[in-house]
Amino acid sequence: MPRPITATIHLSALKHNYQIARQHGGAAKVWAVVKANAYGHGLSFALQAFQDADGLALVEVDGAVRLRALGWTKPVLLLEGFFHAEDLPLVAQHQIEIAVHCFEQIELLEQAQFQPGQPIRVHLKINGGMNRLGFKVADVESAWKRLSAIGAVKVVDLTMHFANADDAMNPRLPVSEQLRQFEQARSQLAKLNTDGPLEVSLANSAANLLHDEIQNDWVRAGIMLYGGSPNTDSASSFGLLPAMTLSSELIAIQVIHAGESVGYGSRFVASKTMRIGVVACGYADGYPRHAIDGTPVLVNGVRTALVGRVSMDMITVDVTNIPAARVGSPVTLWGKGLPIDDVAQAADTIGYELMCAVAQRVQLIAGD
């Protein structure tokens, strides 16, 4: 029998969350973002759940090729574009769309030898102040002209990523300032593009849920698809459902007395007699090692708390007030009944990290 830890992927929840993204997007088309193995949920499961999506977006070239191999025929977008010249034949062969965000990528496109066929669809990325990827306003016109001179590519939209869509009035970079810079870049290109206005892709999950006033031709739905909140509000307040339940079992129970400690470093010391449940889940499974005492866990469906330091293969939890708890009792680390954002907050991280960190040794199984 395999070790008793699994991540159940709820396909119905993925489909439901996608519909929330579509409703908030209005008339916009939707990229379902499936990077990082669909945020840890598995590309094959994501493909099943997002059949109605207008396109799938990710950052891994091999993942994009795998989507084609799995039968996805609609658009696939590489959000960071390509990384090396050797990627371009695969991009062309599999009709993968690419973001272009720097002059080094343009230079590689200029040097590439393409076979006759459909042009590579390019999404020109604007740096609106986030200062990760993209062309600053002063460089947009030059980037456009060089891309337009390459016969094997076609610029199809302008894209930008918000730094603070969950904090619109952020004093360092408000949403309005990023929009101002984007509109400045777009107005420059409007004078050069004789084929008509380019499509626009601005909204990530936070912008999609919180800023219906932002106009998009495409939205990029990421964390919301998987039942995580893009801000401090609960996912359920947006109507989102948990798409992954990480579950395990108790594999031992210890009785300790006042003054006795639990785990490495003896971090937790009992103030009274306690029953301690040992769970088959540790940081090698993707559970956050830095989780503190009190991080919520469900045992037999009852909410209790982590006690003691997280080990590679085990965590220890307080089952003193769960008298029915025994070896084999079910444990939920996050998911149905225990929002992943609650666990993330207690561990001083975000739900994104927990999802993406689920280890390969944890079996993914499909649920309802």
What tokens does 147 get? Answer: 């891309």
Where do runs of H (alpha helix) occur along the chain?
11-25, 35-39, 43-49, 61-69, 88-93, 103-111, 137-148, 175-190, 205-210, 340-346, 351-357
Q: CA-based Rg of the chain, rounded to a whole angstrom?
A: 24
Start-to-end C-alpha separation, the chain = 23
**Residues comprising the chain, all counted:** 368
DSSP 3-state of 87? helix
DSSP state of 256: E
Q: Give the closest residue to 245 by CA, choosing from 218, 281, 221.
A: 281
Residue 39 bears catalytic tag: no
CA distance 23 to 34: 19
Q: Give the closest residue to 208 by CA, choosing from 240, 169, 246, 183.
A: 240
Q: Which of 18, 35, 226, 352 is catalytic?
A: 35
Place of tokens 């309005």: 176
Q: Give the closest residue to 49 by CA, choosing from 41, 61, 40, 57.
A: 41
Residue 125 bears catalytic tag: no
Point out the residues that are catalytic: 35, 264
